Structure 1
Amino acid sequence: MLIDGTASSAGPESGLLTEARSLLPDVVALRRRIHRLPEVGTYLPRTQRAVVEALDGLGLAVTLGRRLSSVVAVLDTGRPGRTLLLRADMDALPQQENTGLDYASEVPGVMHACGHDAHAAMLVGAARLLSARRDRLAGRVVFMFQPAEETAGGALPMIEEGLLTPAGGTAVDAAFALHINARNETCTVHVRPGTQYAAADLVRITVRGRSGHAAGPHRVLDPVPVACEIVQALQTMITRTVGIFEPAVLTITTIRAGRAFNVIPETAELTGTYRTLSEATRRTVREGIARVAEGVAAAHGMTVGVELPEGYPAVQNDPAFTALVRRAAAAALGPSHVHELPHPTMGGEDFSYVLQRVPGAMVFLGACPPGSVPGTVPDNHSDRVLYDERALAAGVALHCAVAEDFLRGGGSGGGEEAEEEAEEGERGAAAGVARTDDSG
């Protein structure tokens, strides 16, 4: 089998992969169209239009979002069966692109640095391929094109607008998504049952002092050193209250205070994020942040405001459905292209809202650029990130393989065989090595 320009031992190329590769020029063209004109947040009119135009003529029931620029397209085979949701996000990041690509972003200060352009293009390719093969299928496939994964969280509004009971009222039975990753070997799939992404929550701390002249700090209450002390104390809190075998990350990313060199400001603001894998640790960190910030401020005679808005919950992959994905990926791409993730990523993903409601899984798709060594290239969210576009054919084939397997009756609730496969995957994960991106 030839996927990435090198032969594997998997035997003849699968029919799905052959058909997906025939679509690759169109998939790449769509990806580059979206890449040139990236959009941020919930309002993505150009991206939405590009996706809708690419879906035209496939015989899908297409619905546009009311509150955001989402697209939901439903493939109904006309035969009774289960319903699978396939998801792609579409939004970009607010950063300047420095890749040097001839199709680089034409929008100043905005770029597709997390591969969402590729996600959207691959899902359109999957819609085309599954539509062409609908006579072999029974049931329905829902294609979810989502804005605002990087910002406000577009999945929840889509759910509230009826995503999981689309066009006819039949509920979605399971869901699948993939995320491209520049640091993993191209065309490889990385899976794990259980927790895949961390819960991603926000931190905002405002230290309130009393302003005055910089030459007389003893006559005021200077919030700046207190804010710095809080940053240091929070790191100590993490290491002394969270068990060493329970992952937790707390990062303060901004400090804002004052505008003049000779004025001690009234307030200093800290913002950041904390990532956890369990609800117990999430609660421990949340309580610890408030306790430390309030205690340090009080020790210096100041007050503090602590805001801890909840972000995305952890992504939990259903073990039985993950076993289906592993099986489908091996059949479509070859067993040598399927790897177990040894541990979750501390990135955040709002696909978690979908997986809270229906079983499913999210996996990583490697796309390390040609001629590069995996693990050494710029990562997702870098202004220089590059992806091997040959991997897009593998992504199209994977979406379709998962859909066909699930609609045939595999996946969630798959019985003892699925449980045994899931247990094998967990054992493999303990010995495997894989890189993951910490997007989100």
Structure 2
Amino acid sequence: MKRTLPLMILLATLTAGPQQTFAGKGKTTQELLTAATIARETDLIYDKLVTIRRDLHANPELAGNEKRTQDVIKRYLSDLGLEVQTGTYGHSVIGILKGGKKGKKIAWRSDMDALPNDFADEETFRSVMKGVQHGCGHDVHMTVALGIAEVLSRHKASLAGTVYFIFQPEEETFAGAKNMVDHGLLSTIQPDEIYGLHVTPLPAGKIMVKPGEVFAYQRQVRIELKNELTKDEAKALAGQIRSALVRSVKGSKPWEIQQISDPVTGLASTNTIFRDYLIMDERFHIRSDKDRLFLEAYLYETDPQQLERILPRIQALIGEGPYKDKLLAVSYIQGNPTVINDKELTGKAIAVLQNCCGNDVLLPDYGLVPFFNDDFAYFQQKVPGVYFFLGGSDVGKGIVAMNHAPGFRVAEESIRTGVNRFATLLAERLKP
């Protein structure tokens, strides 16, 4: 196992990367900020970004414990000359890049926390924290954000406006974004628009985005009955309910999430199997408490109008069967908001990326991703926002960025793509 560099040595190494084309800390280049300039400067810092990504990957921290991660980010942003704020909530960090001219305010969000799992990790820079891994790509998200900040900071005198780099803790517990909003973050910085991304199993070098819903609507349903059913009867009833509710295109299996990157059936295909479905847990959680029996399961629905009809359907189904007199209640006990991209802003972002990068970089999105969600939705409730999928797979090298799954790995070339494309996007959006 490769030994992780001590923090202070690491930071000194990171901030001493290729700088010969730059004017140094606190100064900016005079070169015109164009897509070509951004691509060239991204290449110059790429190796340094890979180093910091590997350090973050080797030292993951769970939601609520992102202290070391916070320290790394604070130091990096400070060395770029950005104003750095902490204390909004948890271990959050806000890096403020003020341009030399007045203009709009843009926010870029990156999540920080890792996952509680102990899957086998093939990387030489695997986690040194037992039972904790960056198995969802947040280490890459943070690295991309730092890269964007570095490239843009070199040209801050020519930027018209302000960029807020929001490093958000506790995404995996769906608490961080809401708590940052509740603690007044957006009221304080008042961004005009906000952006974020997530690594996905799409090919490295590709970006996917669309207006509207990005993920299926997630709900947890609870069926409460008198505790008078046997275990087998409860399982049979759960199976009947699931069979009656589940919906998908004939012959498709949208619960096989690995198909989202398939060229024929995946999100980028007009024939996607992820367009119209209702998925429900195959196995309900069945438990009893004294005189009550509970059947609980998660469901994922692409049509928000159907959500109001699901509970009455369950009630009607049970009401027509032998357990009519046993039913006490049917309810949703959990339902997080889903990511919904602002239509107008997404259109503008797509136009910028197409103009600077060409159509071959962007992939269309014709479906909704099941099982996953992102608390970025809480920011979008307050500010127009766009959420991108960044491809992280290189199948030819055996790298598949299937989040939350054994064998999750990210092709580091996706870092270059993310910094290059999204620094260009922000630079263009800051133009008067």
Partner of 2:108: 86
Whether the 8 Å contact between 2:57 and 2:133 is mirrored in structure 1 is yes
Q: Aligned partners of 2:68, 2:318: CA distance in 1, in Å?
A: 44
Tell me the percent identity: 26
Offset at 1:56? 2.0
Of the candidates 394, 400, 407, which is equivalent to residue 417 of structure 2?
Answer: 394
Runs of 4+ in 1 over 6 A off after TM superposition: 264-267, 293-297
Name the aligned partner's letter for residue 100 of structure 1: E
Deviation at 1:61, TM superposition (A): 2.5
TM-score by length of 2: 0.77
Q: TM-score, normalised by structure 1?
A: 0.75
**Are 1:237 and 2:255 matched, yes or no?**
no
Kindly tell me: are residues 101 and 253 of structure 1, through their superposed partners in 2, closer, same or farther at Cα, counting changes over 3 Å? Answer: farther
Partner deviation per Cα, 1:117-149 (whole Å, 9 max, x = no partner)? 100111011111111111121111111111222
Match of 1:313 among 310, 327, 337: 337
1:281 aligns with 2:314: no
Q: 2:279 aligns with which of 227, 231, 249?
A: 249
For the Cα contact (< 8 Å) 2:102–2:161, is it kept in 1? yes
Deviation at 1:17, TM superposition (A): 1.7
Q: How does 1:260-279 map to 2 (within 5 A)?
A: 269-279=294-304
CA distance in 2, matches of 1:293, 1:94: 38
The partner residue of 2:206 within 179, 188, 196 is 188
CA 1:27/1:235 → structure 2, altered by over 3 Å: closer, same or farther? farther
Instruction: Confirm or deny: 8 A CA contact 2:401 2:410 kept in the other structure.
Output: no
In the alignment, is residue 369 of structure 1 matched against residue 380 of structure 2?
no
5 Å-filtered alignment, 1:11-410, equals: 14-166=36-188, 171-181=190-200, 183-205=201-223, 208-209=226-227, 221-239=229-247, 246-251=276-281, 255=285, 257=287, 269-289=294-314, 298-299=323-324, 302=326, 306=330, 308-346=332-370, 347-369=372-394, 371-372=396-397, 377=400, 379-409=402-432
> Contact between 1:234 and 1:292, CA under 8 Å: does it hold in 2?
no
Separation in structure 1 between the aligned mates of residue 172 and residue 398 of structure 2, nearest angstrom: 27
**Letter in structure 1 aligned against 2:95:** A
Paired residue secondary structure (1:30): helix
Give 3-state SS (helix, strand or coil) of 1:391's partner.
helix
Amino acid at match of 1:341: D
Give the aligned partner of residue 434 of structure 1.
Answer: none
Sort the Cα spacing of 1:296 and 1:230 in 2 relative to 1 into closer, same or farther, 3 A: farther
Q: Could you tell me which runs of 5 or more consecutive residues in structure 1 were left unpaired when the two chains were aligned.
A: 1-11, 211-220, 259-263, 410-440
- 8 A Cα contact 1:253 1:271, kept in partner: no
Matched positions, count: 373
Q: Deviations over 1:406-432 (max 9, x none)?
A: 1115xxxxxxxxxxxxxxxxxxxxxxx
Instruction: Give the 3 Å change call, closer, same or farther, for CA 255–310 of structure 1 in structure 2.
Output: closer
CA distance 1:282–1:60, shift in 2 (3 Å)? farther
CA–CA separation in structure 2 for the residues paired with 1:153 and 1:294: 37
Partners of 2:317 and 2:71 in 1: how far apart?
Answer: 48
The 2-side partners of 1:295 and 1:148 are apart by 44
Cα contact 1:70–1:145 (8 A) shared by 2: yes
Deviation readout 1:11-47 (Å, 9 max, x if unpaired): x982212211222122222222221122222332222
Against the structure 1 CA distance between its residues 257 and 193, is the aligned structure 2 distance closer, same or farther, given a 3 Å change threshold? closer
Partner Cα distance (1:352, 1:59) in 2: 30
- Unaligned stretches of 5+ residues in structure 2: 1-33, 249-273
